[in-house]
Amino acid sequence: MRIVHLINTLDPKPSSDLFVAQPVTFETLKRAKSYAADFGIEVVHVTACFEEEMNAIPSWITERHTLRVSSLDFPDFADKRKLPSLKEIFEIAKTYATDSDIFVYSNIDIGIQPFFYQMCAMHIGAGSDGFSVTRRTIPAEAKSVEEHCASPGEKHPGDDCFVIKAGLLEKFDIPQVFSGVAWFDRAVLLNCAVHATTFERRTDDYRTFHIGEDQSWSNAKASTIGRQNARQVLALIDRLEAQFGKLYDIERVWKVFSHGYHVLGLDSPKKGTKLKRRLLSWVGAKSN
């Protein structure tokens, strides 16, 4: 069993919450890889980042890819952070589709439990095509990785870790969304739901964690990129519906994707038209 786990690494400033979170994530990845090896599971960690951030990658991670597209290529965004293109990240992911069994993508601020890769192998080996793991939010006061892993934390609804059969990656249509702000995760979740025959959101597991709850993705400046991400997700929905029919009529898709629309006050697949109009209004687009 070979698992490829791709993460988008950064070189965070001391004032950033990632200055604390990223080293913790690295340590949990390293420990989980070692633990998995004892069970015959090969884990390959792959990083994707901008050239100037390469120095933040620990030496034990040797699979490194340089990103070239960023949100700064779009000057209309009020948020002037240099955010990576998820489309480019998943183009890198696709190069691992044929020589791996399982692909994992998670945010760099997501730590994993030591048994995480065994859990991935167990579920995929039992016939699952994939799943997302919603994290636990733990207090920032913990002083060691052991304390971080032991903290029960609180449930969080966000999708920030995805596990999928690697061969399905070649079917993915990831639009030009930027990570670190609203709606980028929906593009991944929707692709997983459409292209996997069996896919679920695992919301009650304690497999991953996030330190604190800063919500840097939700500020006013970040919302300019979030709106663009939402427009891209809408365009993705149009493309997928042209190929597969109305997505809210496909039970397996709606089961794992409808939660993304609950924040808009819509919880029924029969409200698909109203749903789309409300989202279009929020992003400033016009319906056909």
Residue extents of the structural domains in the chain: 2-216
Q: Which residue has the tokens 């992003």?
A: 283
Between CA 74 and CA 56 the distance in angstroms is: 26
> Which of the residues in the chain have pLDDT under 70?
155, 157, 212-222, 259-288
What is the C-alpha separation between 165 and 282, in angstroms, rounded?
A: 34
In the structure encoding, which two tokens stand for residue 52, read together? 């100037």
- Structure tokens that stand for 76 in this block: 């209309």
Q: Considering the entire predicted model, what is its pTM?
A: 0.88
Say how far apart CA 99 and CA 82 lie, in whole Å: 31
Q: Quote the tokens at residue 134.
A: 């919603």
pLDDT of residue 219: 56
Residue 147: predicted pLDDT: 79
Determine the Cα–Cα distance for residues 7 and 107; give it in Å rounded to an integer. Answer: 6
- Tokens representing 31? 């420990």
Residue whose token pair is 């490829």: 4
The closest of 267, 225, 272 to 247, measured between CA atoms, is 272
Q: 3-class secondary structure for the chain?
A: CEEEEEEECCCCCCCCCHHHHHHHHHHHHHHHHHHHHCCCCEEEEEEEEEHHHHHHCCCCCCEEEEECCEHHHCCCCCCCCCCEEHHHHHHHHHCCCCCCCEEEEECCCCEECCCHHHHHHHHHHCCCCEEEEEEEEECCCCCCHHHHHHCCCEEEEEEEEEEEEHHHHHHCCCCCCECCCCCHHHHHHHHHHHHCCCEEEECCCCCEEEECCCCHHHCHHHHHHHHHHHHHHHHHHHHHHHHHCCHHHCHHHHHHHHHHHHHHCCCCHHHHHHHHHHHHHHHCCCCC
Match domain 2-216 to its CATH number in 3.30.9.10, 3.90.550.10, 3.30.465.10, 1.10.357.10.
3.90.550.10
* pLDDT at 220 (0 to 100): 59
What's the pLDDT at 7?
A: 97
Q: What is the pLDDT of residues 42-77, one digit of tens each?
A: 999 999 999 999 999 999 999 999 999 999 998 888
Instruction: Supply 202's token pair.
Output: 């695992």
Residue type, 10: L
> Exposed, middle or buried: residue 245 (CB in 10 Å: 0-12, 13-18, 19+)?
exposed
State in Å, rounded, how far the first CA of the chain is from the last one.
47
Task: Give the pLDDT score at 136.
Answer: 78
